[in-house]
Amino acid sequence: MSHFRPSNLASNFNYFNNSINNIPGTLQFNSNAIAPKITLIDYNENQAIRRELKNPLDCWAYLDTESVSWINLDGLGDEITWKHLSQVFNLHPIALEDIVNVPQRPKVVEYKEHLVLISRMVTLDQRSNFFVSEQISFVLGKHYVLTIQEEPKYDCLGGVRERIRNNKGIIRQKGVDYLFYTLIDAVIDGFFPVMEVYGEFVQSLQNEVVTYPSHQSLTKIHQLQQDLLLVRRAVWPLRDALNSLLRDGNELISEEVQVFLRDCYDHIIQILDMVETYRDLASNLTDIYLSSVSNRMNEIMKTLTVISSVFIPLTFIAGIYGMNFNPDKSPFNMPELNWYWGYVFTWAVMLVVGGAMIFFFWRKGWFSNLNVPQKSKK
């Protein structure tokens, strides 16, 4: 399983290298980036509308209404888009830096007019069954929630859109802080399918390591440990961010929604418990792999020892009669060479000796636990 594509890793290293000498609040954009796709969902208890916006300036008309507005940006976009977005939502330069310059550590930052939450969103690629991670940023205002996704390809927020469109549950009866909670809850719940896949993968890998350990098994164990570490790095800071939000509170979040956020915090704790459990199992898999390889080597050595033990006396007999002493010179020099049945006699002696040793090993129980290694299944 995999987390980052090589191109993403390269861009991440470039960001860290370039950000050392940058002034705080400096934004870095990809020269090939296109304008992000802006989607607006504005709703109240009676109706909900969805529109595609070409420019962030079109959001002005929805920010001062009593309805709840959810503005979603797919892609980080270009500098012009973010200048307009900063004007519309009055975003602090540091907040813009955290949103645009990915990756950032999950955190929550409070400003005068809004609240910014940086998180990681994971989704499963159904074709490869790999998990993909991207940064998602939340900006909570008085009547709006602004979400910015790193890439438009993957998304786990479709269920929230469905609930708003079909008026399922109580989401359209609540305020903007409830929408903020619902989106965070959807992001956190997106980790559970990923962890279920890893649970099945750990189980299958354990069976493979016990039954048919191979070098590929060790590679899979190493990759599993790396992926679980990346999941932990995504969830652990989010736990601290939510804990800070629950402990200190915020005027934009009501006490009712605070209770729902505690449920999100509990889900994060469950995910962390699963991650730690799978990490321990992955560490144990390395020991199981080494034990399995050692046991297979012992079985191989045992098999070779049995074969060698049987053939050593036979080789000894064949070696004696291979010395070719001249029996004419002395009656003690290989008198069997002149026997009519000498060759047959020698074979009979070797068969009797070999059979006696096999019978002896069988009575000792050497063959009862002898497990000849089989070819690994692909």
| 3-state per-residue secondary structure call for 349-368 | HHHHHHHHHHHHHHHHCCCC
Whether the bond between 335 and the residue before it is cis, its omega within 30 degrees of 0, is no
Residues with Cβ within 8 Å of 352's Cβ and at least 6 positions away in sequence, in order, are none
The pLDDT assigned to 362 comes to: 78
Do domains 1-169 and 297-364 share one topology? The answer is: no
Residue 30 CA to chain centroid, in angstroms?
A: 27
Of 90, 133, 100, 98, the closest CA to residue 118 belongs to: 98
Query: For residues 309 and 172, which has the higher predicted lDDT (pLDDT)?
Result: 172
256: left (phi over 0), alpha (psi -120 to 50) or beta: alpha
pLDDT digits (tens, 9 = 90+) for 82-121: 888 888 888 888 888 888 887 888 989 888 888 999 999 8
Q: Which residues contact 36 (CB under 8 A, 6 or more apart)?
A: 73, 74, 75, 76, 77, 81, 148, 152
**Residue range 350-374: mean pLDDT, rounded:** 72
> Among residues 78, 59, 81, 79, which one has the least CA distance to residue 70?
59
Over residues 256-280, mean pLDDT: 91
Which fold is adopted by the domain 1-169? Answer: Beta Polymerase; domain 2 (3.30.460)
| Half-sphere CA count of 54, side-chain side, radius 13 A | 0
Mean pLDDT of the chain: 80
User: Which of the listed ranges 54-58, 266-270, 291-295, 340-344 does the model predict with the highest average pLDDT?
Assistant: 266-270
Of the candidates 15, 16, 21, 71, which has an alpha carbon nearest to the alpha carbon of residue 43? 71
* Lowest mean pLDDT across 5-9, 17-21, 271-275, 365-369: 5-9
In degrees, rounded to 5, the angle at the alpha carbon of residue 109 between the alpha carbons of residues 103 and 113 is: 125
Q: 206-224: per-residue pLDDT in tens?
A: 888 887 777 888 888 888 8
The larger pLDDT score, comparing residue 135 to residue 334, is at 135
Residues whose CB falls within 8 Å of the CB of residue 339, separated by 6 or more in sequence, listed in order = 345
* pLDDT score, position 369: 56
Q: Which residue in 33, 244, 11, 251 sits closest to 118, CA to CA?
A: 244
Most confidently predicted of 242-246, 336-340, 346-350 = 242-246
Boundaries of every domain in the chain:
1-169, 297-364
Q: Which CATH architecture has domain 297-364?
A: Up-down Bundle (1.20)
What local confidence, expressed as pLDDT, does residue 180 receive?
94
Residues 78, 47 contacting (CB under 8 angstroms): no
Question: Which ranges constitute the DSSP H helices of the chain?
Answer: 6-18, 60-63, 79-89, 93-100, 158-165, 176-189, 191-211, 215-248, 255-320, 342-364
- Residue 74's pLDDT is 86
pLDDT for 250 beyond 70: yes
Residue 146: per-residue pLDDT: 92
Is 138's pLDDT higher than 90? yes
